[in-house]
Chains A and B, each alone.
Chain A
Amino acid sequence: MSGKEYRTITDVKGPLVFLNKTEPVAFGEIVTIRLSDGSIKNGQVLDTSDDLVIVQVFEGTAKINRESGVTFMGDVFKLPVSTELVGRILDGAGRPRDGGPAIVAEENADIIGAAINPYSRQSPHDFIQTGISAIDCCTTLVRGQKLPIFSASGLPHNDIALQIARQAKLKGSDEEFIVVFCAMGITAEEYNFFRSDLERTGALENAVLFVNLADDPAVERIITPRLALTAAEYLAFEKDYHVLVIYTDMTNYCDALRQIGAAREEVPGRRGYPGYMYTDLAMLYERAGIVKGKKGSITQFPILTMPGDDITHPIPDLSGYITEGQIVISRELHQQGIYPPINVLPSLSRLMGSCIGEKTTREDHKSVSDQMYAAYAQGRELRGLVAIVGEDALNERDKQLLDFSGIFEDKFLRQTRDEDRSIDETLDLCWNLMSSIDTKYLVRLDQKWIEKYHPDNKE
């Protein structure tokens, strides 16, 4: 389309610019705004009509005035993609941040992304070994899954995400993941932590980073994850890579969404977040999966911090309704000095059933996982009772379960930041720990597995 420049801005409000009298502008079209000092800002059309166009400006509206020139680029937002992306660091709007050259596009991909036809999806079933016992045993990750970490401020979710990125592999395979890392509004310190860790382990060469930091424009955060996922889709579905997308922090993304909603004077939903937040989040999370006829896959690890540790807050709540489970980080465990402080009780992997068992992990996995979970849940519950009636009031079974809950946290959950346990090690560890409980109380274990795996039955 023409490069005609309009100077018809009427209003500027928060991240939004309103202008009138333009040629017909497409919904979603990309816009550049030239300021009087010659600098350029980018934006996107949010609302368009014969009389009025509303533009959302990614870099913030500072210095925009009625004299600023607005050019419509005639196209929707696209990301130049090619395999050159791998190993690069880009900013939140997709420009190089590492001093390297611009990406030479093999193709330009629409960043909104089309929905995958549910009929064309393939059910995920490949077990990903993360080397973290709590995840591998209790909330098993599957290739093509979207499994968020529900954390809160001050908890080591970043360490866990990095450990997963470092250690994740298919059982019995050296095939590595390409990590697409998407930072939204995190601090420079956190970013440096991620980057230096990826550099240290050499993972940076196999990663693409999209970085929007806390002092970068908030509105840019709306597109950052879309860029990351567009890159991921290209690498997975065009280039056959297995891609692991880590994005942090979804809470900042949602806050940016709220900011735009407020500027547009939309009717807010719960806690001021827009009513379409569910759909909006789904447009991100649902870009995970495996499709028929393509070799690659996208696995997503979104990290979100629950405001006030509240799991019913709209952000974790809506996420939980879309994602295939969640890994919940517990402040209580963290304060006891346990790493990784994963509370397995509210954690869940919905796809676990499809990827565990004889062919993929081990025949006793399901049984062991159920029993570990049940025994720990009962043990934790007994702690409450003990606080009231004292330990002496417990019967033998309850005493053993109570003790087990401590062992579970200390021996099973706890591991070091570079400890990479194989699934066999994890399951053997489970059997060792469960042997502290009398076998007759282990009702969820199949008799045949007890005979085969229980330490008493092994010499």
Chain B
Amino acid sequence: MSNEGVIYRISGPVVTATGMNAAMYDVVRVGHEGLMGEVIELHGEKAVIQVYEDTSGIRPGEPVLNTEETLSVSLGPGLLTQIYDGIQRPLATLEEVMGVFITRGVDADAFDLEKKWTFEAVVGKGDELASGQVIGHVQETETIVHKIMVPPGKSGKVKSIKSGDFNVTQTVCTLDDGTELQMMQKWPVRSPRPYRQKYAPDTPLVTGMRILDFLFPLAKGGAAGIPGPFGSGKTVTQQSLAKYSDAQLVVYIGCGERGNEMTEVLDEFPHLIDPNTGKPLMNRTVMIANTSNMPVAAREASVYTGITIAEYFRDMGYDVALMADSTSRWAEAMREISSRLEEMPGEEGYPAYLSSRIAEFYERAGRVETLNGDDGSVTVIGAVSPPGGDISEPVSQGTLRIVKVFWGLDAGLARQRHFPAINWLNSYSLYPQSLDQWFRDNIAQDFPEIRTQVSGLLQIESELQEIVQLVGSDALPVDQQLTLEVARMIREFFLQQNGFHEVDAYCDINLQYKMAKAILSFQESAKSAMASGAQLNDVVNVQSRTDLMRGRFEKGYVDDIDDMVKKMTAEIAGTVEGN
């Protein structure tokens, strides 16, 4: 048998070839046009291939060529600021080659192979190199130093190494055994990149979104799921995270989503400034856009392409955040392929291996000791789009079993225009225990206690609301009315956040703490004023409280808030009659 066979059968994105020597997950070129595909099943002589491009017009009898490589991504300087499709073809190059519509049979390098980068060696002749060791630096963008590493599996003594301007395929370092190292390396997307060991996460991924950081924090190296029905703000939340989270690098995967939305991201990101570095956001971003009408097999591959790139940067010792929007589309791609293969389905037509694939994907998140002894992390945030918003379906359930943070989006809140529409009653994070020490050390000693008080108030509110539904709020005793008022303040002043407002979109974690404290001090002073005979109405309507709440839209709020709280406390004390 040779590495060339012929097509036997075509059924949508699934093609069967015969007479070809093939192994599982080999990448093949299908038909006269050389469409890219991947072997996903073997039956005796026959190899079943999923094809990453449209197969209309392809006939049985056309050739299939096995490249004998597995589906891999190219890794090296030039990755950042790129926008790829699901199989790492840069969309800008595709536009140059084929115009505005994506046709097929076009191959494109993942990045410019000719561009010269300034390589600065950090090891010298005679040094003993291990796998993963950094041999040199390239200043890839203003903010990111791209560390050139010895590819996993290779090691040895340096015979020669030189600094200077090279393109990514030129040899920069030769080892004693003759191994030549270039700045570009390849890695098969379906295998996790190796590391020494996983650590327990202990640092939060600060996102600037109050409800996330304060109530349901995510750790660097953790995994979070965001399920929600359509229109509840999954994409806006994901985009906010991509913009404002304090990861050093962001990989954003638009997996089977809307074209116009992706365009919005592509238009907007190059103009945005990273609040953590003050530099353009694109400098730290790699985007993968495989919209819903692009080939379904490439959609299946897109999440793997993304996470492999994320792992590569993790290996340099960076904290990387990966957003996948939406993992349901990825699961549906698996379902579609599986059904073409006539596999026995599991729940709702999804393949039986769905939950293990989801688990494998999220397991590639983590905070690790890299091969070179650095500390790096990949944080994975996956959006889930459950049909009808019902999270009892297989993708949501498969996700919830594995992630430690659940940010549940709620259609009801979205309808009330409460954004981010994350339901504070059913969302959870299992990280506070491991992160509390960080919050105590870096923000405030009583941070966890304040959090408990705030979430406690929200819990009490939900119970009181049930009564209010029946009898109206006037029938409650005044102290409970005050509790409702405080909880309303938490919801409207603290939890609601305008993701499009220039100031409010990003809230510093210190400010979050101060705002939470401000709410509690309102409760305190209101309580004591009312105990001395003040009327609830007067207490609630003090102007300084309105000012305090409006202030969050102003710059410099973090400096003014303490004074505003003092003013409010004084004014509330003044509502006691006779004062």
By a beta-carbon cutoff of 8 Å, the part of chain A in contact with chain B is 24-29, 46-50, 75-76, 110, 112-124, 144-145, 237, 266-270, 274-276, 278-279, 282-283, 285-289, 291-294, 311-314, 317-318, 320-322, 324-326, 345-346, 348, 350-351, 353-354, 370, 373-374, 377, 385, 388-389, 393-395
Q: What residues on A are CB-neighbors of B332 within 8 Å? A: 275-276, 278-279
Q: Which residue of B lies closest to A373 (CB)?
A: B417
B59 touches A112 (CB 8 A): no
Residues of A within 8 A of B345 (CB): 267
A120–B61 touching, CB < 8 Å? no
Complex alpha-carbon distance, A385 and B465, angstroms: 12
Once the chains bind, are A26 and B59 in contact (CB under 8 Å)?
yes
Which one, A110, A313, A320, A351, contacts B260 given CB within 8 A? A351
Binding site for A on B (CB under 8 A): 8-12, 16, 54-62, 83, 91-92, 94-95, 98-103, 229-231, 254, 256, 258-264, 266-267, 289, 291-296, 329, 332-333, 335-336, 339, 342, 345, 348-349, 385, 387-390, 415-417, 469-472, 474, 500
Verify B417–A267 contact, CB threshold 8 A: no
Q: Could you say which of A26, A117, A311 contacts B101, with CB atoms under 8 Å apart?
A: A117
Interfacial chain B residues near A276, Cβ < 8 Å = 12, 296, 332, 336, 339
CA distance A120 to B83 in the complex (A): 12
Q: Report the separation of the CA atoms of residues A292 and B96 in the bound assembly, to the nearest whole angstrom.
A: 12
CB neighbours (8 Å) of B416 from chain A are 374, 377
**Which of B10, B256, B336 contacts A275 (CB under 8 A)?**
B336
Q: Given A76-B57, A286-B292, answer yes or no on A120-B256 (Cβ-Cβ < 8 Å).
A: no
User: Given that A27-B57, A275-B349, A388-B470 are known contacts, is A50 also in contact with B11, CB under 8 Å in the complex?
Assistant: no
Whether A117 and B336, one on each chain, are in contact in the complex, defined by CB atoms closer than 8 angstroms, is: no
Q: B10 contacts which of A27, A118, A291, A294 (Cβ < 8 Å)?
A: A27
Q: Smallest CB–CB gap between B573 and chain A, Å?
A: 24
User: Could you tell me if B474 and A395 are in contact, using CB atoms closer than 8 angstroms?
Assistant: yes
Tell me, in angstroms, the Cα distance from A346 to B474 when the chains sit together: 30
Please state if B260 and A123 are interface contacts (CB–CB under 8 Å): yes
The 10 A-B residue pairs with the shortest CB-CB distance in the complex, in nearest-first order: A312-B388, A49-B9, A282-B292, A28-B56, A119-B91, A114-B101, A286-B293, A120-B100, A27-B10, A24-B59
Can you offer 29 A-B residue contacts whose CB atoms are under 8 A?
A47-B9, A48-B11, A50-B8, A76-B56, A112-B54, A114-B102, A115-B295, A116-B259, A117-B100, A118-B254, A118-B262, A119-B289, A144-B260, A267-B342, A268-B349, A270-B387, A275-B335, A276-B339, A278-B256, A279-B292, A286-B259, A287-B293, A294-B100, A320-B229, A322-B292, A324-B258, A348-B231, A353-B500, A388-B470
If A25-B59, A26-B56, A275-B335 touch, does A320 touch B230 (CB 8 Å cutoff)? yes
B348 x A118 contact (CB < 8 A): no
A312 with B389, Cβ < 8 A, contacts A76-B56, A122-B263, A322-B258 known: yes
Total cross-chain contacts (CB, 8 A): 205
Q: Determine the main DSSP class of A at the interface with B.
A: mixed
Assembly CA distance A49 to B58 (angstroms) = 11
Distance, CA A132 to CA B319, complexed state (A): 50
Which residues from A are CB-within-8-Å of B254? 118
Cα-based distance from A293 to B329 in the complex (angstroms): 30
Assembly CA distance A267 to B296 (angstroms): 17
Q: Which residues of A contact B58 (CB under 8 A)?
A: 26-27
Residues of B within 8 A of A312 (CB): 387-390
* Residues on the B chain within 8 Å of A373, using CB: 417
Chain B hits for A75, CB < 8 A: 57
Q: Is the CB of A377 within 8 A of B415?
A: yes
Q: Is the CB of A118 within 8 A of B289?
A: yes
Contacts of B12 in A (CB 8 A): 27, 276
Q: Which of B16, B264, B387 contacts A49 (CB 8 A)?
A: B16
| Bound CA–CA A373/B101 (angstroms) | 39
Set of chain A residues within 8 Å of B8, measured between Cβ atoms = 49-50
B57 touches A28 (CB 8 A): yes
User: In angstroms, how far is the closest chain A Cβ from the Cβ of B329?
Assistant: 7
* Chain B contacts for A322, CB-based, 8 A: 258, 292
Give the CA-CA distance A76 to B336 in the complex, in Å: 23
Q: Note all chain B residues with C-beta closer than 8 A to A268.
A: 349
Chain A residue numbers with a CB within 8 Å of B387 are 270, 312, 314, 317-318
**Cβ contact of B293, chosen from A46, A283, A320, A353, cutoff 8 A:** A283
Contact of A266 (CB < 8 Å), options: B100, B339, B470:
B339
**Residues from chain A with Cβ under 8 Å of B16 in the complex:** 49
A452 CB to nearest B CB, Å? 20
Q: Are A119 and B83 in touch, CB under 8 angstroms?
A: yes
* B267 / chain A contacts, CB cutoff of 8 Å: 123
Contact B294 A115 (CB under 8 A): yes
Which of chain A's residues have a CB closer than 8 A to the CB of B472?
Answer: 385, 389, 393-394
- In the assembly, what is the distance between CA of A274 and CA of B338, in Å? 12
Q: Do A385 and B291 have beta carbons less than 8 Å apart?
A: no
Q: Quick one: given A50-B9, A353-B500, are A370 and B417 in contact (CB under 8 Å)? A: yes
Q: A269-B348, A312-B389 are in contact. List 11 more A-B contacts (CB 8 A).
A: A27-B12, A47-B10, A48-B59, A48-B60, A118-B291, A123-B263, A124-B260, A237-B100, A274-B339, A317-B387, A320-B231
Residue in contact with A118 in the complex, picked from B11, B55, B98, B266, CB distance below 8 Å = B266
The residue on B at minimum CB distance from A53 is B60
- List residues of chain B with CB within 8 A of the CB of A267: 339, 342, 345, 349
Cβ-neighbour of B474 out of A76, A266, A393 (below 8 A): A393
Specify which chain A residues have a CB less than 8 angstroms from the CB of B98 in the assembled complex.
117
The listed residue with most A CB atoms (<10 A of its CB), out of B92, B266, B387, is B387
**C-alpha gap A42/B264 in the complex (Å):** 41
A389 neighbours in B (Cβ, 8 Å):
471-472
Most buried by A among B11, B62, B292, B329: B292
Known: A27-B56, A123-B260, A346-B415. A282 touches B336 (CB 8 A): no
Q: Which residue of A lies closest to B336 (CB)?
A: A276
Residues of A within 8 A of B415 (CB): 345-346, 377
Closest Cβ–Cβ distance, residue A367 to chain B (whole Å): 13
**A266 CA / B14 CA spacing, docked (Å):** 14
Complex: chain B residue closest to A46, CB-CB: B11
A75 to B59: give the CA distance in the assembly, Å: 11
A268–B345 Cα distance when bound, in Å, is 9
Q: Which of A121, A287, A326 has the most CB of B within 10 A?
A: A121
Residue of A at shortest CB range from B393? A270
Question: Which of A25, A119, A144, A325 is B266 in contact with, Cβ under 8 Å?
Answer: A119
Shortest Cβ distance from residue B576 to the other chain A in the assembled complex, whole angstroms:
24
Q: Shortest CB–CB separation between residue B545 and chain A, in angstroms?
A: 13
Query: CA separation between A117 and B342, bound complex, in Å?
Result: 31
Q: Which B residues are in CB contact (< 8 Å) with A266?
A: 339
A374/B417 contact (C-beta < 8 A), A289-B259, A385-B472 known: yes
Is B57 a contact partner of A29 (Cβ separation < 8 A)?
yes
How many angstroms from the CA of A269 to the CA of B395 in the assembled complex?
14
B228 to chain A, nearest CB (A): 11
**Contact status B230-A26, CB under 8 Å:** no
**Chain B contacts for A116, CB-based, 8 A:** 100-102, 259
A26 to B55, CA, bound (A): 9
Q: Which residues of B contact A388 (CB under 8 A)?
A: 470
Q: Which residue of A lies closest to B15 (CB)?
A: A27
Q: Of all chain A residues, which has the CB nearest B470? A: A388
Chain B contacts for A112, CB-based, 8 A: 54, 56
- CA–CA, A79 and B95, complex, Å: 25
**Assembly CA distance A326 to B415 (angstroms):** 13
Across the interface, do B289 and A115 meet the contact criterion of CB distance under 8 Å?
no
Taking the nearest CB of chain B, how far is it from the CB of A401, in angstroms? Answer: 14
Note all chain A residues with C-beta closer than 8 A to B390: 312
Q: Which residue of B lies closest to A120 (CB)?
A: B100
Whether the Cβ atoms of B292 and A278 lie closer than 8 Å is: yes
Report the nearest B residue to A75, measured CB to CB.
Answer: B57
Establish whether residues A321 and B230, one from each chain, have CB atoms under 8 Å apart when the complex forms.
Answer: yes
Task: State the Cβ distance, A298 to closest chain B Cβ, in Å.
Answer: 11
Name the one of B11, B62, B95 contacting A119, with C-beta atoms under 8 angstroms.
B95
CB <8 Å contact, A117 and B102: yes
Flag if A117 contacts B91 (CB, 8 Å).
Answer: yes
Inside 8 A of B99's CB, which chain A residues have their CB? Answer: 120
Q: Which residues of A are found within 8 Å of B102, using beta-carbon distances? A: 114-117
